[in-house]
Amino acid sequence: MKRFYLYGVLLLLSSCQEEVVLELKSQEPTPIIEGIWTDAGTINHVNVSWSRDYYSQEPNAPVEDAEVFIVSPTNRERVNFKYSEKSQRYLPDDVLGGKIGDIYELNVKIGENRYVSRGEMLAPPRLDSITYSYKEGRAFRDDGYFLTLYGDIPFTEDNNYRVRIVRNDTLLNRRSDYLLFDDTFGTTILTKGFELSGFAFEDKDKVRLELYRLNQDAYDYMSQLVNLLFNDGGLFSPPPENPKTNIEVVAGEGEVLGYFLVSPILTQTIRINPE
């Protein structure tokens, strides 16, 4: 990474950075909805909050009185969510989670406004094993222990995946920690052994890995979110835009931001423990 900075310096030579304060406009708070619905019921939740001014250092103001539920038109089930003061999010009454192959519809009602989003609980790929080995530093990475995932992606469509990594009970959530992949480069990636070359681990690290299979709209949202995190506002970046939400305003007015993720989740934990 340092070498990229070197090239940045060489290209731009006398470029400099400094913090400035710009006068920015503000607007009425916009509702933000973040719904997570997996086949692992304990992690399912819905966050509902309001946006705030750019320079505000307060946390997002949660919406505590929304009506939140998920219905499945395929299995005719309804799961209600209740607001938890402790976690400041809506948690489901039912901890069973979703079922593979079913379609789920998130409903959120804030005052007179109603918001809806749908997603299908797709079948997960197969994750057989995770190995690790020590690698020397190369052009795009430091030295350390690197994980390799083995399994199989048997699908010809809806190949949109996200890997989340928790190292020693801490979620890796820098912008460079997002690992999203689709089938642009084929579907044999797990068969051949998918090395997570962006993540170097150390001896004794405990690593929990979560593999999600996303619907296209949720994957697009995540991709655009990552692009926005890397958008430097310069000439070489596209005009910044809010990630395109997959949530619709079906009653009321105004816009809504956020996403509804319906996905199976595969989880494995490994400890780096070389001999």
Partner 1 sequence: MRFLIAFGLLMVFRSFIPEPALAQQENMLTGTILEFEKEEPLPGANIYWESAPRQGVFSNSDGEFSLPSIGLPAKLVVSFIGFQKSVRIINSKDLEKSLRFYLRSEELALDEIIIRDRQPDQNVRSLDMGKSVIPIATIKNIPALFGEVDLLRSLQLLPGVQTAGEGTTGLFVRGGSADQNLMQLDGAPVYNPSHFFGFFSVFNPDALEGIEFYKGNIPAQYGGRLSSLIDVSVREGNYDKIKGDGGIGTISSRLTVDGPLFSDNSSFLFSGRRTYADMFLRLSSDPNINNNDLYFYDLNGKLTFRIGQKDKITVSGYYGSDFLGLSGQFGLGWDNLVTSAIWNRNINDNTFFDLTLYHSRYQYRVNFDDPDSGFIWQNRLSESGAKAEWTYLPSGSSVLKWGLHSQYYNFAPIELNPTQGSILESINTNARNGVQHNLFVSGTADVHPDLRVEAGLRWGLYQQVGRGVDYFYEGQLPAPGIPVTDTLFYSSFENIKRYQGLEPRLSFRYLVREDLSLKAAYNRNFQYVQVASNSSAGLPLDRWIPAGTYIEPIRGDQFSLGIFKNFNNNTWEFSVEGYYKDLKNIVDLRQGANILFTDNVETELLSGLGYAYGLELLLRKNVGKTTGWLSYTYARTWRKIMGISNDQWYNPRFDRPHDFTMVLNHQFSPRWSAALTFVYTSGQAVTFPIGSYEVDTQRLPLYSQQRNEERFPDYHRMDAAVTWKSVNKGRKWRGSWNFSIYNLYGRKNPFAYQFTEIINEQINFDPSLGDEIYSRRPGVVMTYLFTFLPAITYNFEF
Site for partner 1 in 54-83 (CB under 8 A): 54-57, 59-60
**Rounded least distance, CB 212 to partner 1, Å:** 12
- For the CB of residue 42, give the shortest distance to partner 1 in the complex, in Å: 18
- Among residues 271, 126, 142, which one has the least CA distance to residue 194? 126
Longest CA–CA span in the chain (Å) reads 63
Q: Does 136 sit near partner 1 (CB under 8 A)?
A: no
Site for partner 1 in 21-60 (CB under 8 A): 21-22, 24-27, 29-30, 32, 34, 47, 49, 51-57, 59-60
Of the pair 17, 82, the CB lying nearest partner 1 is at 17
Decide: is 13 part of the binding site for partner 1 (CB under 8 A): yes
Min. distance of Cβ 140 from partner 1 in angstroms?
7
Q: What are phi and psi of 144, to 5 degrees?
A: 155, -170
Neighbouring C-beta atoms of residue 162, cutoff 10 Å: 20
Q: How far is the CB of 93 from partner 1 (least distance, A)?
A: 24
Q: Which of 63, 108, 163, 222 binds partner 1 (CB under 8 A)?
A: 222
Q: Is 40 exposed, middle or buried (CB count within 10 Å of its CB: 0-12, 13-18, 19+)?
A: middle
17 binds partner 1 (CB under 8 A): yes
CA-CA-CA-CA torsion for 206, 207, 208, 213, nearest 10 degrees?
A: 180
Q: Interacting stretch for partner 1, rule CB under 8 A, among 13-21, 37-45, 80-88, 263-271?
A: 13-21
Six-digit token pair at 1? Answer: 């990474």
169 binds partner 1 (CB under 8 A): no
8 Å CB contact between 83 and 47 = no
Please enumerate in sequence order all residues whose Cβ is within 8 A of that of 208, keeping only pairs 6 or more positions apart, or say none: 165, 166, 267, 268, 269
Q: How far apart are the first and last CA of the chain?
A: 30
User: Collapsing DSSP states into helix, strand and coil, what is residue 12?
Assistant: helix
Residues 170-209 that bind partner 1 (CB under 8 A): 171, 173-176, 184-186, 188-189, 192-195, 197
Q: Which stretch binds partner 1 (CB under 8 A): 65-73, 101-109, 256-264, 265-273?
A: 256-264
Select from 85, 112, 136, 232 the one that contacts partner 1 (CB under 8 A): 232
Is the CB of 71 or the CB of 201 nearer to partner 1? 201
DSSP letter at 43? Answer: G
Strands 113-120 and 170-171: unpaired
Under rule CB under 8 A, how many of the chain's residues touch partner 1? 82
Pick from 80, 237, 269, 273 the residue near partner 1 by CB under 8 A.
237
The reply on whether position 268 binds partner 1 by CB under 8 A is: no
Rounded to whole angstroms, the Cα distance separating 117 from 244 reads: 13
CB closer to partner 1, 74 vs 231 = 231
Shortest Å, Cβ 39 to partner 1 = 19
The CA distance from 168 to 205, in Å, is 6
